[in-house]
Amino acid sequence: MKVLVTGASGLVGSKLIQALVEKGHQVHAIGRKSHPDTATIKYFTWNIERGEIDKQCIEKVDAIIHLAGENIGKKPWSKRVRTTILKSRTDSIALIYQLLDSNPHQVKHVISASGTGYYGNRRNELLTEDRTPADDFLGQTCFEWELAVAKGRTYGLRIVSLRSGIILDKKKGALPKMVNAIRLGLGASLGNGKQYMPWIHLDDAVNTYLFALENLGIQGVYNMVAPETVTNQQLNQAIAKTLGKPLWLPPVPAFVLKSILGKMSEVLLDSAKVSPEKIVNAGFQFKYPTIKEALEAIYTA
């Protein structure tokens, strides 16, 4: 296929583009900055705030993978930042749909990112895709994001939204911060440490997008998380064991995190025990189903 990827320079996007090319797909990548084209990747630019987009980005494109979105952990959640986070996800896909509406195209599929923040703090409840969204910032952001993407059905498009857990990678994302703290002897559980933290290895995340792209029979929302559920405490312990480091500090109290991070502390303290059963039943096979396998692949392979 020829695939348009938004958010192509991000953690998942950069690895996904490589995987798409290796599988013989052609790639159109769109972002704020221009890059020189290669034999298999053409780069395009857009400005979401001004509603500007290079209409050639959809030329002969069969599918769109929508990963664009402001980093939720980059800045404190002021009202302005919350608005930016939401609009970076919803206005971007709306801009693409406007382009499809006003130009000839052959797009048939849209595969979009979403997040397990959709569920909010659900403690020990096993969460499947049919649960209602949390009535908080992340829950409503994910809900609006998925709703904006789902509007593509009015164009006859097949829509898939993937609710991702924490993506584990050696160089980017949350894992390096946790690892650095543990290596310095400063690692600790957060809050009571009992909150479930849905996760997935980067390779499995990339493979899930490829699976959703190439398996035309699936559509709708799917959780994109590894089968093994772990708490914050268990994740820290698994990292420490993999690194051969002690984990001796007491937990960081929730009120300390809330005083430092404000509402953004929800990302660290909310508990979501998320089930991948739906994507597994669709035929997806995880390369790293357990946290032990994932960490060993990242740090000892």
Burial class of residue 185, CB neighbours in 10 A (0-12, 13-18, 19+): exposed
Nearest to 166 by CA among 223, 246, 89, 86: 223
If phi > 0 it is left, if psi is from -120 to 50 it is alpha, else beta; for residue 185 that is left
* Residue-wise pLDDT tens digits, 228-271: 999 999 999 999 999 999 998 988 988 888 888 888 888 888 99
Long-range contacts of 296-299 (CB under 8 A, 24+ apart): 296/242, 297/201, 297/203, 298/168, 298/169, 298/170, 298/175, 298/201, 299/170, 299/179, 299/242, 299/243
Of residues 301 and 218, which shows the higher confidence score?
218
User: In the prediction, which pLDDT does 108 show?
Assistant: 97
Q: Within its chain, how far is the Cα of 39 from the centroid?
A: 28
Nearest to 215 by CA among 163, 273, 155, 279: 279
Report the Cα–Cα distance between both ends of the chain, in Å, rounded. 32
Q: Which fold would CATH assign to domain 2-299?
A: Rossmann fold (3.40.50)
* Residue-wise pLDDT tens digits, 74-127: 888 899 999 999 999 999 999 999 999 999 999 999 999 999 999 999 999 999
* Residue-wise pLDDT tens digits, 182-224: 999 989 999 999 999 999 999 999 999 999 999 999 999 999 9
Q: pTM here?
A: 0.95
pLDDT, mean of residues 29-42: 90
Domain positions in the chain are 2-299
User: In the prediction, which pLDDT does 34 show?
Assistant: 83
